[in-house]
Amino acid sequence: MQEFSGQQDTGIPEMSAPSVRVLLADPSRVTREVVADALKTSKVDLQFVEAETGHEALNALRTQNVDFAFVDVQMSGISGIDAVGQARREGFRPF
């Protein structure tokens, strides 16, 4: 007797989803968790980089090779707008 799984064997190897690095920069840990949970519903393999301050966000943009960034506008140290602006002036364009 042969078992049937309901899936056809097409002979084509299954491809894994590409990994995407996402910067979540917000002073609130809860906000970062909510955004991460919402994004995890996608079928894309996501890796998260977190930052609590504008300086941490700028450092992450410089060093963490992120593909997308969600950055709060009002952050301590430097604002999210200033952090992203500085990173763009340095040639970083993840978005």
**Chain segment 26-81, per-residue pLDDT in tens:** 999 999 999 999 999 988 899 999 999 999 999 999 999 899 999 999 998 999 99
The tokens 């996501």 sit on which residue?
Answer: 46
Kindly indicate the confidence band of residue 5, based on its pLDDT and cuts at 50, 70 and 90. Answer: very low
Mean pLDDT for 10-26 is 76
Given a contact cutoff of 8 angstroms between Cβ atoms, the answer to whether 45 and 16 are in contact is yes
Whether the Cβ atoms of residue 47 and residue 20 lie closer than 8 Å to each other: yes
Spatial distance between the Cα atoms of 57 and 36, rounded to a whole number of angstroms: 16
Average pLDDT of span 80-85: 92
Q: In this predicted model, which residue has the larger pLDDT, 86 or 92?
A: 86
- State whether the Cα torsion 22-91-53-73 is positive or negative: negative
Q: What is the pLDDT of residue 28?
A: 96
Residue type, 32: R
